[in-house]
Amino acid sequence: MPKSYITHLECSITGRADYKAGAVHGLSKAGRPLLARYDLDALKKDADRDEIWARSGGFWKWRELLPVQKDENVIALGEASTPILPCPKTAVLVGHEGELMVKDEGRLPTASFKARGLGVAVSMAKELGLTRLAMPTNGNAGSALAAYASRAGMETFIFCPEETPLINVTETSLQGGKIWRVNGMIDDCGKIVAAGKESMGWFDLSTLKEPYRLEGKKTLGLELAAQYDWELPDVIFFPTGGGTAVVGMWKAFNEMEALGWIGPKRPKMIVVQSSGCAPLARAYDAGEKHATRWENAATLASGIRVPQAVGDFIVLDIARASGGRVVAVDDDELMELWGESSRLEGMLLCPEGAAALLALKNGAHEGWIAPDDKVLVVNSGNGLKYEMPDTAGALDILKPIDFEGLT
């Protein structure tokens, strides 16, 4: 396979660039996320975007723009590029007159887009000789970590809030993760990971606290650009908790522009939170650079129940710089729209995906989405992972069946 063009890493707040590739890194010396940098000038000469896109291997096809150096360290679980589906009926449902596409990230290994970040982070951990990994999770990151790490022969310690969906907890333990429910939020779980570091000797894979999950998430942006024939959509809606996906997509767009793969046009990035946990939306409305912790966070869209995020300032910057915004949507309304859109289009979103769709509905009604905007909503995971309303009827085979009554 082609080689990685990684050169070094850089602090996201100070720009300090003396962090070596091929070494174990957590946060920068300033306590902020590190960003991997690549020799894009060389890659521009050497690589052809369409040749790369034509490769197989899902997100692993972008090897030049990923940090893993050696083929034998790539941990693969049959990744495929996820489909982008036109959803005209859903567009009518939410009152958007223009194009609506949904990118279904529920098709990845372990059925959420977390596979992108953890596939790459676990492969890097292997390359760097790490054998014991730990992480806080709201569910989907835990199962992705467990699956990739077990395949790589590594040990994992995973901590999740009590109210994490049961399926996330069980899929994680069944795939080899040692998982604990904690009577706190995901940031409380993160504190346990930090506190146990020394005595347990584990490596902390928390979102943006190590640099390589972001590189994996970046492939979402690379992939969708290719699927849009290198002309990005006008608006992207993404359900956001820690923010790695938004930061990753944005990094992909910037790298692709430097490579001459896309032009300067950027989508408006709509960062979507739940009104039950909306620290970024609150900071955005107040014009703040950083967000403060959201107390008593509660939402059924568990993937976005993140009271405080270490990369908050990067997400806020991106929403502003792109001409987008950070919005919060109502939980009851999103559960209703979850059901309505699934019935209508035969596509089972996850509640987080439904939150993104609800933000589009609000944007169309409030007029900040134009009727001719080409909109992409990212469905971040598979709806089957969540508790669903049971609306089936029952039939008794010992009695005559009233077929007319079935309609």
Here the tokens at position 235 are: 């608006």
| Binding of residue 380 to ligand PLP (CB under 6 A) | yes
Q: Which residues are CB-contacts of 360 (< 8 A; sequence separation ≥ 6)?
A: 94, 96, 100, 237, 270, 369, 375, 377
Sign of CA dihedral 141, 142, 143, 145: positive
SS3 content of the chain, % helix, strand, coil (to 5): 45, 15, 40
* CA gap 98, 375 in Å, rounded: 8
Q: Which of 4, 110, 112, 219 is in the footprint of ligand PLP by CB under 6 A? A: 112
| Binding of residue 244 to ligand PLP (CB under 6 A) | yes
| Binding of residue 211 to ligand PLP (CB under 6 A) | no
* CA gap 125, 152 in Å, rounded: 10
Residues of this chain, 114-133, that bind ligand PLP according to CB under 6 A: 114
Amino acid letter for position 303: G
Burial of 112 (0-12, 13-18, 19+ CB in 10 A): buried
| Binding of residue 304 to ligand PLP (CB under 6 A) | yes
Choose one: 52-60, 65-73, 238-246, 292-300; the region binding ligand PLP (CB under 6 A). Answer: 238-246
| Binding of residue 279 to ligand PLP (CB under 6 A) | no
In the complex, least distance from residue 309 CB atom to ligand PLP, rounded to whole angstroms:
8
Cβ closest to ligand PLP, residue 240 vs residue 341: 240
Cβ closest to ligand PLP, residue 270 vs residue 350: 350
| Binding of residue 348 to ligand PLP (CB under 6 A) | no
* CA gap 403, 340 in Å, rounded: 25
| Binding of residue 352 to ligand PLP (CB under 6 A) | yes
Choose one: 50-58, 70-78, 123-131, 234-242; the region binding ligand PLP (CB under 6 A). Answer: 234-242
Q: In the stretch 24-63, what mask flags binding to ligand PLP with x, by CB under 6 A? A: ----------------------------------------
Q: Which residues are CB-contacts of 263 (< 8 A; sequence separation ≥ 6)?
A: 257
Q: Which of 82, 110, 207, 308 is in the footprint of ligand PLP by CB under 6 A? A: 207
In the complex, least distance from residue 4 CB atom to ligand PLP, rounded to whole angstroms:
23
Choose one: 92-100, 242-250, 260-268, 358-366; the region binding ligand PLP (CB under 6 A). Answer: 242-250
Cβ closest to ligand PLP, residue 61 vs residue 116: 116
Q: Which of 142, 239, 279, 324 is in the footprint of ligand PLP by CB under 6 A? A: 239
Here the tokens at position 297 are: 């966070």
Amino acid letter for position 355: A
Cβ closest to ligand PLP, residue 134 vs residue 135: 135
| Binding of residue 245 to ligand PLP (CB under 6 A) | yes
In the complex, least distance from residue 244 CB atom to ligand PLP, rounded to whole angstroms:
4
| Binding of residue 303 to ligand PLP (CB under 6 A) | yes
R_g over Cα of the chain: 21
* CA gap 304, 274 in Å, rounded: 7
| Binding of residue 143 to ligand PLP (CB under 6 A) | no
The crossing angle, in degrees rounded to 10, of helices 140-152 and 114-127 is: 30
Q: Where do we find the tokens 């690379």?
A: 222
Choose one: 4-12, 240-248, 260-268, 329-337; the region binding ligand PLP (CB under 6 A). Answer: 240-248
What element of type H or E holds 246? Answer: helix 244-258
- Distance, C-alpha 243 to centroid of its chain: 8
Instruction: Determine the size of the site formed for ligand PLP (CB under 6 A).
Output: 17
Determine contact, residues 246/315, Cβ cutoff 8 Å: yes
Q: Which residues are CB-contacts of 88 (< 8 A; sequence separation ≥ 6)?
A: 100
Residue 110, CA distances (Å) to 162, 165, 342, 388 in order: 21, 14, 21, 19
| Binding of residue 297 to ligand PLP (CB under 6 A) | no
Cα 137-108-250 angle, rounded to 5 deg: 75
Give the residue at shortest CB distance from ligand PLP.
303
| Binding of residue 165 to ligand PLP (CB under 6 A) | no
Burial of 218 (0-12, 13-18, 19+ CB in 10 A): buried
In the complex, least distance from residue 141 CB atom to ligand PLP, rounded to whole angstroms:
6
| Binding of residue 221 to ligand PLP (CB under 6 A) | no
Q: Which of 242, 267, 279, 363 is in the footprint of ligand PLP by CB under 6 A? A: 242
Q: Which residues make up the interface to ligand PLP (CB under 6 A)?
A: 112, 114, 140, 207, 239-245, 303-304, 350, 352, 380-381
